[in-house]
Structure 1
Amino acid sequence: MNTKDMLPLTEAFYYILVSLYASSSHGYGMMQDVERMSEGRVKIGAGTLYTALNNLMKKGLIIPSNEVETDSRRKTYSITPLGKQVVMAEMERMEELLCNGRKITQFREEECT
């Protein structure tokens, strides 16, 4: 499957994948990362998070991590190479949207690349 066939990502999926891009994390850590990255605008509840994690695993975008947590109840997750490709494709898609909107509305003087 082509990575672009997996787009667009929901905002929750996007932020979860971005939060895992640099390092593995557990659910609560992801929830905190998403809230911090979005400056409090996006808050993912536990039910939404675990539904999203299951969907992302089914799509092959994340996997359970082998990292050992100090709290054995916490499951950690890692992004897959495919997950990283999908994040990059989504960022390109969003940049195109933003660039086209700026061209039309003349929101900013800078040229898009």
Structure 2
Amino acid sequence: MARKSQELGRFTDVALLVLISLAEGQKHGYRMISDIEEFSGTSLEPGTLYGALMRLEERGWIEPVASAERRKPYRITDGGRAALREQLATLRRVEQTGARRSLAWGPA
């Protein structure tokens, strides 16, 4: 019996999704949640997002942007861009290895 992909759970790292979202430009939390859901299909709760934002800011990979509005926008830093490139390169290697190995089993 074939399993549906949603049954496998979520494989994505929230920090990676945030970096990808901010690579497009600065955003506040609600806009990041909407963007991430749009490009990845992953729905984040605000607490999950803000926990990731705190960790990313502590690492120096994102930083808050001054704003006159109530919402607090963030932007990716040069260090965050380097971390994102490195993580995406790793994911490409994982994807290529997985695709190659899955072919060894023949058609599904």
Give me the TM-score of the superposition, normalised by structure 2: 0.80
1:63 corresponds in structure 2 to 63
Residue 52 of structure 2 corresponds to 52
- Show CA shifts across 1:2-43 (max 9, x none): xxxxxxxx62111111000021000000000000011x3x11
Matched, 1:85 2:82: yes
In the alignment, what sits opposite 2:3?
none
Q: Secondary structure at the match of 1:73?
A: coil
In the alignment, the residues of structure 2 paired with residue 101 and residue 52 of structure 1 have an alpha-carbon distance, to the nearest angstrom, of 27
* Alignment deviations for residues 64-109 of structure 1 (CA, whole Å, 9 cap, x no partner): 013x35xx210000000010011111110011011111222228xx
- Structure 1 stretches (4+) deviating beyond 6 angstroms? none
1:27 aligned partner, one-letter code: G
CA distance in 2, matches of 1:85, 1:49: 21
> Residue 94 of structure 2: SS of its match in structure 1?
helix
1:74 maps onto 2:76 in alignment: no
TM-score where L is the length of structure 1: 0.77
Relative contact order (alpha carbons < 8 A, sep ≥ 6): 1 or 2 greater?
1
Query: Please, which runs of 5 or more residues in structure 2 have no aligned partner?
Result: 1-11
| Bigger share in helix | 2
Aligned residues: 93
RMSD of aligned residue pairs (Cα, Å)? 1.5
Distance 2:83 2:74 in 1: 17
In percent, how many aligned pairs have the same letter? Answer: 32
- 2:63 alignment partner AA: I
